[in-house]
Structure 1
């Protein structure tokens, strides 16, 4: 199955291909399995150290939630290597578009096992001439992060149907299927009630799609043996007790794994954004809190000594003398007690302070220089030209139905500090006790923009600005998502301004620095003590071209680029509707900001293209740049 996973390494720790995600391939949809199944155990100590990503600052932070964490392991590159991402087909139900036969993948395989052998997702009926099978589009997810198929073998056997308003098809929001829990036979709270018994002993299901009727009532599940048939009308109103399926853990003793679950599973389209949200944390490498004297190779040697059954402290002391390393450094590496919870804003403050106040390290892992632009760039106080930047991104877990904020990723859902209904699922079969986490390490370049603190304070005193922020916060309170409420709690005019400015410059840089918008990323530094943002590009996107950092070489040209970005923001094709908007986009969390003027690719934005308002920059009465 590894050969079917063709997306880049960066997507393996993202919402577009991380552990537990459902992705489309040319053959069929697959679910990415836990990284424990990828083969990292095949590495011996001599090989393992080559794939360890070193960022002690990030590891110390992650130990808040992963107390046994030792290594961040790089996503594999070679397709034929010892380590390869694994997956299994999901959804598990397939139908033949030619003959309409509809079966679980295990039943399709049985026909092939008794026929010509290897199953290749083709119909076994000779009349279908090798017709490629297709999967159903519908899955079920619950708040605890589980995912499962609908009980298709029972779909055409209903006791009662309650009419409901049909939702549109583009609604965005292996324990075997025979093992349906007995409690699902209890009266369902859904609008469709199933009996949870097959329609007849010799059931033979067919999945037929009408050419004339294109809505859900045109799709029929019919038994050829008894003739009982039902459409998919009302499918989005169906729910059932969750079976706790965890297909991403792969097979164990021939069965897909799961756990007890007391939540209701609801129907989603398999391509809906809401079926998967990767919980990732990223870190810019800085020398602070790094155990710089210990290479990855030395770390694996130390762990090998400590894990030996006959280990004694004197073994470490001998090793330290032989390698010329202070024993204190080894003890620092082995000390797992430094697990204080670090909020995202505090973690970023360390990066912000370092780039603004320190000199680049001698080893030149990163290369940067500060530029004082006060009085030279309107509205800005400083720039940091970063010629070489290292970013590490790690996926810790994922949720379904709703994302969670960065600070909640490292909070135990069982604690009183966790505020969400959705529960994160770990990317490891060892759950949060894992020793490893998958990560990617990218080198790139960027510019850190720092706005004029004094001007920001004066600008923020305008009452109209305060009212616009409150408007967005009110919309967030009305949202169904806790994520929106939490993100809006500490929302400020400064954050909306800086976030919107970041978007406008990313859109403008596409024309001048050689990178498309999708290859540029923002990183916001906003608090009472921070008023900046980083725009960066990395290898693994569209290269590491040098064209971004070079923009700092000529401040007059850079000022012209910024001026052009501000001017473009005054001319949206959807004005005056966009300009005068009191709420638009998801949950109405944007004001004067839309796809035509402000939004950027989701992969470039940290806040899901929310909390934007270009009027804060350009309005004649209260704009920052007026």
Structure 2
């Protein structure tokens, strides 16, 4: 099955649509039917935006369509799609590509956008041969007319409408129904829609497999009366038989799916994982983990592992590195090595792929040397990866924002335009600077994914990151290029340092620290490495900035014209260290993956008079919660292990698309002096709300 990208006429942002192959074992090239003149519209079965393919429905995830579900395939199956074009576009951002190489290996030569081409008109066919390949998964279906449960080949596929990919579905041919059989041709030609069977098996190594229904209903054995028995799946929501009942039509055996749930149910499941990767159509030779039951729509079925940067004006060294990346991706290392001493020929080879007209021979030679430079040994890369901190991606952005003298000299090619704003007289004194981000470009890249747990929430080994290709490591990874706007607020660094010292010695911080240790030790992971949980706990200044960002997002959403779910945070909060200075700032931004970006409603709030009222209103709202006093005094104590304090859905929590920490590490007591009738009291950074 495959996904092709089209343009929504009401929104210029690219969207996606999908198709069906009868043989799921072959390499995916779903538009073959269309090229051969087939009548059926197999190439389009659904749609999704690039942002959802990055964070919600990437390779290995399950996308629930109106008629069935699909899984975007691994990167090997994207190659037949890309070969439809002579030139493969890339996104050039050396800072992000270096991080991807650190995680996945030096063989990664480029960041590629999703296969998409804009259309000139609503009925135009431009880009109809491009798309993201996907497979039908799960491949066990249940008939809605007779409850028959069987594998995909036992069902028919229909989708003949060229402009209605949402009508694609699997049907049970000659469905007998649940009641009296319909006589004559009407009964023989009856077709009932089929829906995916929702039960699956997964493990901590990221494998995913169909549930063994036949073995389950026969309790690990075979049917005594049929080699391939027909099964039925019926819902039983009566008494204690909550869930589905699987029955064998041949021998009459039956068993409830409720038995497979929980720790006791796990002992009744297969004890050895088969190592299946449906997105790769492959099996690992060995796994070693025990499988567990998971539902098709479970929120912990797929966690995207991504990294992102804000594009900034490049230095001369970074421009040379960017040119080297372009040569590596467009020309290839072998040809660069072949023509390294003949730059004129190299220019001819690169003509049409890279614009080298304004590149001097000296700069080109430096880029060639960079391409041919020896890479770090694997042991060195692993050592660097073990000590790598995601904060390293934020440090260059923070340093740039500290140099207003650079703002007028901005390079428009970077897509970044920022303006130092005048502080309003009534703006809280502890907000030191305001910077309007008039334009920005954010690059996001996919590293892989995990199942059951996110990588940053447990002390896991890097090997938990599920691979994106069948053989070896990927030579490229998918990425998106988003444009937008934002507001950057910087707090008084000296005031933050002084406040943080008081918090570190408080009983409240000790309670949060102990709760984090408990949470860390209780996270389910059978592939855990030995990690000190205290090293994964953000400091008090991060809690302060994070809580402040959530209060601003809630307030800004009522004035900027964007929904709260469209606003995102980027927190710059860390103490001084050997290689970086202290930071205390936050960026509230909104981005879109269309070519024009956003409309300016958010950055307009950075004007002094508007921002003054907005900050005061946000802090006043944060001082009250409809769940107070319960919320205001919430403090974790043994055996509790929640990772927030005075924060809840009524006052502080934000949507998943807005928060970079899944609504963890929030406490309004770090923001303001809240009335306390019990529990530890701490000084709020902005003081009492009655003072403003």
Partner SS state of residue 545, structure 1: coil
Aligned pairs for 1:65-144 (under 5 A) are 65=103, 66-78=105-117, 80-108=127-155, 120-128=169-177, 129-144=190-205
Partner SS state of residue 485, structure 2: strand
In structure 1, how many angstroms separate the alpha carbons of the residues matched to 2:201 and 2:304?
18
State the partner residue of 2:300: 274
Partner SS state of residue 276, structure 2: coil
In structure 2, how many angstroms separate the alpha carbons of the residues matched to 1:97 and 1:336?
60
Aligned pairs for 1:119-518 (under 5 A) are 120-128=169-177, 129-158=190-219, 195-202=220-227, 203-210=229-236, 213=238, 216-217=241-242, 219-236=244-261, 237-238=265-266, 239-240=269-270, 241-250=272-281, 256-288=282-314, 291-292=318-319, 299=326, 303-304=330-331, 306-308=333-335, 311-316=338-343, 318-319=345-346, 323=357, 324-326=360-362, 327-335=365-373, 337=375, 341=385, 342-357=388-403, 359-360=406-407, 361-364=409-412, 365=414, 366-371=416-421, 373=423, 377-378=427-428, 379-405=430-456, 419-420=460-461, 423-431=464-472, 433-462=473-502, 466-479=506-519, 480-481=522-523, 486=533, 489-518=536-565
- The alpha-carbon deviation at position 337 of structure 1 amounts to 3.2
State the partner residue of 1:6: 47
State the partner residue of 2:649: 595
State the partner residue of 1:31: 71
In structure 1, how many angstroms separate the alpha carbons of the residues matched to 2:344 and 2:547?
55
Q: Is the 8 A contact 1:302 1:316 kept in 2?
A: no
Distance 1:311 1:539, change over 3 A: same
Unaligned segments of structure 1, at least 5 residues: 111-118, 159-194, 251-255, 409-417
Segment of structure 1 superposing worse, 580-589 or 223-232: 580-589
- The alpha-carbon deviation at position 377 of structure 1 amounts to 2.6
Distance 1:303 1:439, change over 3 A: closer
Q: Is the 8 A contact 2:516 2:641 kept in 1?
A: yes
- The alpha-carbon deviation at position 426 of structure 1 amounts to 2.0
State the partner residue of 1:581: 634
State the partner residue of 2:662: 608
In structure 2, how many angstroms separate the alpha carbons of the residues matched to 1:473 and 1:213?
45
State the partner residue of 1:519: 566
TM-score, structure 1 as length reference: 0.82
- The alpha-carbon deviation at position 300 of structure 1 amounts to 5.2
Q: Is the 8 A contact 2:111 2:479 kept in 1?
A: yes
Partner SS state of residue 469, structure 1: helix
Partner SS state of residue 230, structure 1: strand
In structure 2, how many angstroms separate the alpha carbons of the residues matched to 1:371 and 1:462?
31
Q: Is the 8 A contact 1:476 1:589 kept in 2?
A: yes
Unaligned segments of structure 2, at least 5 residues: 4-17, 19-44, 118-125, 158-167, 178-189, 349-355, 576-581, 675-681, 688-692
> Could you say which structure has the greater relative contact order, defined with CA pairs below 8 angstroms and 6 or more residues apart?
1
In structure 2, how many angstroms separate the alpha carbons of the residues matched to 1:586 and 1:334?
54
Give the CA RMSD over aligned residues.
3.4
Partner SS state of residue 563, structure 1: helix
In structure 1, how many angstroms separate the alpha carbons of the residues matched to 2:85 and 2:593?
27
Q: Is the 8 A contact 1:143 1:421 kept in 2?
A: no
Deviations 1:554-582 (A, max 9, x none): x1321110111111112211111111111
TM-score, structure 2 as length reference: 0.75
In structure 1, how many angstroms separate the alpha carbons of the residues matched to 2:132 and 2:77?
8
Q: Is the 8 A contact 1:39 1:82 kept in 2?
A: no
Q: Is the 8 A contact 1:22 1:30 kept in 2?
A: yes
State the partner residue of 2:587: 534
- The alpha-carbon deviation at position 269 of structure 1 amounts to 1.5
State the partner residue of 1:552: 606
In structure 1, how many angstroms separate the alpha carbons of the residues matched to 2:481 and 2:640?
32
In structure 1, how many angstroms separate the alpha carbons of the residues matched to 2:336 and 2:586?
50
In structure 2, how many angstroms separate the alpha carbons of the residues matched to 1:126 and 1:436?
46
- The alpha-carbon deviation at position 335 of structure 1 amounts to 3.7
Q: Is the 8 A contact 1:469 1:491 kept in 2?
A: no
Q: Is the 8 A contact 1:94 1:105 kept in 2?
A: yes
Q: Is the 8 A contact 1:592 1:615 kept in 2?
A: yes
Deviations 1:136-193 (A, max 9, x none): 22111101100011111111112xxxxxxxxxxxxxxxxxxxxxxxxxxxxxxxxxxx
